[in-house]
Amino acid sequence: MRTIVTYDTHHGTARRLAKIIADKLACTMIDVDTPYMAEDETSYDAIVLVFGFRGPYTAQLTKLFLNKMQGKLKNKHVIVVGEGIFSDKEFPGVAESLKNLANPYTFNSYFTKGELRMSTLTFEESHLLGDFAKLTGMTLTDMGEFKEEDGQKIADDIAEYLSKQTVIEDKKEKRWICSICGYVHSGDNPPEECPTCHQPGSVFKEMN
């Protein structure tokens, strides 16, 4: 399975995490801000997206990015990896919304503790995080420490997960595509209702 790891980072921790994952998978790693001229996503079977989360503002930017990437992620194995401090409770909800945006063949998500260093924050970040900290009753101060072993555990889990997806594909399980929104379903029969656009199962067509 051809895989690529992309990352979005402001302070470097997400890049460190992405490198651990890319090394484990022996694949290319690229910044999401880098033009994709040399790396055509359509040639990849799986895409691992690594984001550094710093509260709901970052989550909204992540959703915006995934929305722009929607066409390129459709029908692929998509894995979202988050690292951060404030979004550990919010991340599952963010991941679910990203799953709906990506419309992937399979989807999985992981989250690990990140770092927060006040000296590295911009004025805007300090303001946004300060408001978030007040809402949650947290003290905005240096906290957290990204651990390499946590990143390695995620990389191992992703490698195992993707190996299982390869086996599933080798069995040539039937795949059905919604003719309305493009959602892809795997199974012997189409779903009774599309989970994305809620049209009846009759709109699904079997994929070759």
Q: Which CATH number does the domain housing residue 116 bear? A: 3.40.50.360
Q: Residue 41's pLDDT is what? A: 63
**Residue 133 φ/ψ, nearest 5 degrees:** -65, -40
Distance CA 29, CA 156 (A): 17
Q: How many structural domains does the chain have?
A: 2
Q: Residue 166's pLDDT is what? A: 66
Q: Residue 34's pLDDT is what? A: 62
Angle ∠(25,30,33) on CA atoms, nearest 5:
150
Q: Residue 18's pLDDT is what? A: 94
Q: Residue 160's pLDDT is what? A: 93
Do 36 and 102 lie in one domain? The reply is: yes
Distance CA 84, CA 1 (A): 29
Residue 194: which CATH number?
Answer: 2.20.28.10
Q: Residue 93's pLDDT is what? A: 77
* Structural domain boundaries, residue 14: 3-171
Do 86 and 118 lie in one domain? The reply is: yes
Do 161 and 189 lie in one domain? The reply is: no
Distance CA 208, CA 206 (A): 7
pLDDT, one tens digit per residue, over 129-166 is: 777 777 767 677 776 778 899 999 999 999 999 988 86
Do 167 and 181 lie in one domain? The reply is: no
Determine how many CB atoms are found less than 10 A away from the CB of residue 187. 10
Do 193 and 160 lie in one domain? The reply is: no
Do 28 and 51 lie in one domain? The reply is: yes
Distance CA 10, CA 143 (A): 17
Do 101 and 9 lie in one domain? The reply is: yes
Distance CA 133, CA 137 (A): 6
Do 24 and 117 lie in one domain? The reply is: yes
Ranges of residues in the chain with a pLDDT under 70 are 10-11, 33-42, 54-59, 70-71, 86-87, 102, 136, 138, 143, 166-173, 208
Distance CA 172, CA 27 (A): 25
Do 82 and 104 lie in one domain? The reply is: yes
